[in-house]
Amino acid sequence: MLRTIGFCALVLVTAFLLVVTVASFTSANDWWIRLWDYPRLAIFTVAGICTLVAGFTLHGKRRLIVGGVLVAVTLWQGYRIHRYTLLAKPEVQFIEADAEVSAKHCFTALSLNVLQDNRDYGRTLELIRRTDPDMVMLLETDQAWVDALKPESARYPHVREVPIPNRYGLVFMTRLKTDELTVHRLIENDIPSIFARMRTPSGRRFGYIGLHPRPPQSGTDTQERDAEIAVGARTAAKSGLPMLAMGDFNDVAWSDTSELFKRVGTYLDPRIGRGFYATFPANIPAFRWPLDQIYFTEQFSIDSLRVLGKTGSDHLPILAKICLVPRIGEQLNEEPETIERDDIRETDHIIDKGVRTEAREEATGTTDGEREKHGESE
């Protein structure tokens, strides 16, 4: 009896793992499909454990069929995430910047989704004071957060604050010389993004993109999220500047959307070949995934990259020391992935689909949050 119950349970788990794995093969934007891009590490782990259980407890055709499915699931999920392990070759070589190089060519950048409902402001303020970053991107900031951050934001000469009570507010602060700092509504009118043109201490110009699109969840598919990410990629490709992109993309680094973003924007990912640098959910260490992203173009090099400790949010902060030393990045780093023939066409299609979805939702009154003119910047 117990053996039969155990076999049925194993078959049900195997069927579930197979369904969510096959679903992720599709290009559908349905939230309940795209949701399974996130926990690939968890699926890989569960499938691997079940493979061992099937191998030791089943026999004959049962072991062949159930075990075969589980092996296939384990191998596929492992393939999708393997680049973020030590098994892969790093794309970006870390440098050890000496004091002279750091002073001229390097800066520190902090990104954190503070969690709007987190009212333990002191831990985030202490984090900013302790790390003293040259550039700070904070997400989910409502007016209460903006007010609480004043002691720290007052120390930065360039600040943009967009307090919105819909979990998509933002605060951006930098002490780097800034030529342009604007807030844009890329696709959804109630979701702002940051675009900036700044200079390193030595005067080298670079661009910055900070994104926080809406995640897939019940009633919210991914057309608009994917479109915002695609706009970020296209902007980088057309900028003509070295580009740095950070933020809570509400997408994992190994998804098709993120990989397209990386190719079209000619970005490199310093996490490849080193680890997940997982930031969410903060309270479940064993099943975190890399939801907060960092990418930059090949002209950059990097001195350090760290995921920091808890601040009361459901995300962990990510802090990087990034350098823009003439010709160093190009010599050390791998070349960006080749843009495939259909990448530009697919990017344009994703953006068009996102714009049409947002227009349809506005017409039917199904979107929420602030209502501002599409494309307006602040």
Between 364 and 167, whose confidence is greater? Answer: 167
Q: Domains plus CATH for the chain?
A: 2-84 (no CATH), 99-332 (3.60.10.10)
Residue 32 gets the label, from left (phi > 0), alpha (psi -120 to 50) or beta, of: alpha
Residue 78 amino acid letter: G
The 10s digit of each residue's pLDDT in 24-51 is: 888 888 999 999 999 999 999 999 999 9
| 341-369 mean pLDDT | 80
For 73, half-sphere exposure in the C-beta direction (CA atoms, 13 angstrom radius) is: 30
The 10s digit of each residue's pLDDT in 128-175 is: 999 999 999 999 999 999 999 999 999 999 999 999 999 999 999 999
The 10s digit of each residue's pLDDT in 78-98 is: 999 999 999 999 999 999 899
On the 0-12 / 13-18 / 19+ scale of CB atoms within 10 A, 295 is: buried
Question: pTM, whole model, 2 decimals?
Answer: 0.91
The 10s digit of each residue's pLDDT in 222-271 is: 999 999 999 989 887 788 899 999 999 999 999 999 999 999 999 999 99
Phi and psi at 351, nearest 5°, equal: -65, -45
